[in-house]
């Protein structure tokens, strides 16, 4: 056996350049991050919540208290509006009688009464006065002699003050027009600023 030197040197294993490995890893990482961001964007739920806060710039809040004031709400039948309503509808049952007064001044800013007569008429009357408010426009409804009818009266007082009277009159019941007009139009039931 003869050992002859071979004409070719033994083959060394081929190596991949480091820059090519780094480039491949960078491309793979970029693809992974892009896929993850795309999936997150596609599966994201966006919830929009709008919060609406009421503002009462120059008027009363929902119970009738002037803006930036403290008020008390109490059952009350001593107000002139409530007294007159009970006199005009003497056979009626009082369903509700409420007054709103400013805590600091004890001034009544709103009073309401709801009555139901024996004949089924429901009368709702309210007087309100808000300082620095504009004049309230008046309103009057034309009514038939008998129900069914809905009465609707607003009588303006001083600027920001008014009395409103509504009534639901059942079918066949006589409309108490004079009593409703007197309740709405009596100057004594208007609240003072």
| Bond prior to 148 in cis (omega within 30° of 0) | yes
Contact 193, 161 (CB under 8 A): yes
pLDDT for position 138: 87
- pLDDT single digits (tens) 33-72: 888 777 766 665 555 665 555 444 455 555 566 655 677 7
Q: Who has greater pLDDT, 25 or 8?
A: 25
Ordered strands of the 149-156 beta sheet: 71-75, 93-102, 108-116, 122-129, 161-169, 149-156
Q: What is the largest CA-CA distance in the chain?
A: 143
Residue 5 tokens, joined = 């030197």
**CA 99 to CA 127: how far, in whole Å?**
9
Torsion of the alpha carbons at 21, 24, 29 and 30, rounded to the nearest 10 = 140
pTM of the entire structure? 0.64
pLDDT reading at 183 higher than 60 = yes
What pLDDT score was predicted for residue 118?
93
From CA 109, how far away is CA 129, in angstroms rounded? 5
Confidence of residue 176 (pLDDT cuts 50, 70, 90): very high
């Amino acid at each position: 056996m003869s050992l002859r030197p071979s004409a070719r040197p033994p083959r060394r294993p081929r190596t991949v350049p480091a820059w090519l490995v780094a480039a491949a890893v960078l491309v793979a990482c970029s693809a992974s991050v892009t896929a993850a961001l795309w999936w997150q964007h596609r599966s994201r739920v966006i919830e929009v919540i709008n919060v609406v806060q009421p503002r009462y710039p120059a008027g009363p809040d929902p119970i009738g208290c002037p803006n930036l004031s403290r008020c008390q709400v109490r059952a009350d039948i001593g107000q002139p509006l409530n007294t007159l309503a009970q006199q005009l509808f003497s056979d009626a049952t009082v369903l509700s009688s409420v007054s709103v007064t400013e805590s600091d001044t004890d001034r009544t800013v709103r009073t309401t009464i709801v009555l139901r007569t024996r004949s089924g008429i429901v009368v709702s009357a309210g007087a309100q006065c808000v300082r620095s408010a504009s004049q309230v426009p008046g309103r009057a409804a034309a009514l038939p002699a008998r129900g069914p009818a809905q009465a609707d009266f607003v009588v303006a007082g001083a600027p920001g003050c008014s009395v409103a009277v509504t009534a639901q009159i059942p079918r066949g019941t006589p409309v108490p027009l004079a009593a409703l007009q007197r309740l709405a139009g009596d100057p004594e039931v208007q609240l003072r600023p």
